[in-house]
């Protein structure tokens, strides 16, 4: 198979991968073949994760690169496109950055009073978004949604969006 074909995973293929074939939190950064090693190096700089998480991912991808004898030069694969970096850091992507930061905190199991407030704020925003998407702007519906886990809310929002 070509690298381009190998670099695309269906949802079924992705689910069938072992946890050890991922280098990022939450089964992110699949590295099941050399095409994905190349893609991981290329996309790592775009990931909105902490520097320590980025270092762990880079180390894991490097180990996979070596063990699979992919010969990928991480400097050649790095995405140095400044316009992409600028876009990712723009105000338009602030909510996405906040969400990824929050999910990373959940993945790492960190919590503090300030983070708990941030989590609750995000839960309420996600509940309001889901109610709005479903045309259920009633406060009691929003209150009912806020009792669900953040992951459950996001799954429902994604399911709704994908269903359109």
* Domain boundaries, given as residue ranges, for the chain: 3-88, 111-163
Percent of the chain with pLDDT over 70: 77
Quick one: which of 4, 64, 56 has its CA closest to 35? 4
Rounded Cα–Cα distance for residues 50 and 102 (Å)? 11
Can you give the pTM of this predicted structure? 0.44
**pLDDT tens-digit series, residues 52-81:** 888 889 889 999 999 998 888 765 444 444
The predicted structure's pLDDT at residue 31 = 92
């Amino acid at each position: 198979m070509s690298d381009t074909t190998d670099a695309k995973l269906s949802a079924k293929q992705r689910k069938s991968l072992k946890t050890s074939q991922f280098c990022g939190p939450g089964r992110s950064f699949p590295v099941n073949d050399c095409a994905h090693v190349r893609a991981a190096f290329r996309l790592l700089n775009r990931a909105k994760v902490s520097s320590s998480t980025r270092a762990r991912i880079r180390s894991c991808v490097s180990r996979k690169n070596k063990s699979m004898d992919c010969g990928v030069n991480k400097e050649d694969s790095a995405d140095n496109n400044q316009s992409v970096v600028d876009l990712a850091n723009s105000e338009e992507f602030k909510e996405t950055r906040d969400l990824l930061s929050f999910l990373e905190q959940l993945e790492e199991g960190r919590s503090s009073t300030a983070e708990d407030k941030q989590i609750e704020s995000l839960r309420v925003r996600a509940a309001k978004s889901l109610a709005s998407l479903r045309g259920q702007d009633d406060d009691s519906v929003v209150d009912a949604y806020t009792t669900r886990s953040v992951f459950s809310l996001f799954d429902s929002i994604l399911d709704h969006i994908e269903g359109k």
